[in-house]
Structure 1
Amino acid sequence: MKKIVVACGAGIATSTVAIQKLKAGFEKRGLGGQVSYTQCTVAELPGKVAGHDMVVTTAQFSQSVDIPVVSGLPFITGLGVDKLMDDIVAKLGM
């Protein structure tokens, strides 16, 4: 089971959209059910990354963490979603 922490400015709106798009993308690739999600604000990220495999954020995040950080903006704009999902799957080694 891979664990992704999904963050946005307020921890509610765009991170919820990103999680929905992530779930749909993993389902489309036959990987549904192999990923769990934690939702938070960008400010909470440094304390949430432990035990996770990746960060997907829809807001600016410039701190250094020990796991891959991916911009989830394509999930919000709708542009480049398939490429982003391919990158996420590759970085997670799935």
Structure 2
Amino acid sequence: MKKVIVACGSGVATSQTVASKVNRLLKEKGVDAVVEAVDLKSVDRHLVDACAYITITKVSKEYDVPVINGIAFLTGMNQNKELERLIEAINQAK
């Protein structure tokens, strides 16, 4: 199953909220993927076998997977755009 990582500072509150919402949205769209919440310190380790990274914080590093704006899922602003980017990343992953 394809994996998506969501990260915030502690990996508890905000990332869990976004992961839960994204899991629900993907299920509604019939997309088969699992969304996991992690803390920022362990992002690199979890991205090894992930197809996308949803970030709650500003990213200054380059990653080998598409980086999706997690704030969109918190606020609802541009949520559909970011969800479509995420679905495209999942569908293009091997």
Relative to the length of structure 1, the TM-score reads 0.85
- RMSD after superposition: 1.5
State percent identity of aligned pairs. 25
Unaligned stretches of 5+ residues in structure 1: none
Query: Against the structure 1 CA distance between its residues 82 and 58, is the aligned structure 2 distance closer, same or farther, given a 3 Å change threshold?
Result: same
**How many aligned residue pairs are there?**
92
Question: What's the CA shift for 1:52?
Answer: 1.0
Q: Does 1:51 align with 2:56?
A: no
Paired AA for residue 13 in structure 1? A
Specify every segment of 5 or more residues in structure 2 that has no aligned partner in the other structure, as ranges.
none
Give 1:43 shift: 2.4
Q: Which SS does the other structure have where 1:56 is aligned?
A: strand
Q: What code does the residue aligned with 2:10 have?
A: A
Answering whether residue 23 of structure 2 is matched by residue 23 of structure 1, we say: yes
CA shift, 1:28, in A, is 2.0
> Which position in structure 1 is the counterpart of 2:91?
93
Q: For 1:30-68, what per-residue CA distance to the aligned partner results, in whole angstroms no more than 9, with x for missing partners?
A: 22xx11233211222122211111111111222222111
Partner residue in 2 for 1:14: 14
1:49, 1:87 → 2: CA distance? 17
In the TM superposition, structure 1's runs of 4+ consecutive aligned residues that sit over 3 Å from their partners are: none
1:58-73 equivalences in 2 (<5 Å): 58-73=56-71
Q: 2:85 & 2:43 partners in 1: Cα distance?
A: 21
d(CA) in 2 for partners of 1:26, 1:39: 15
CA deviation map 1:6-36 (0-9, x unaligned) = 10111111111111111121122122xx112
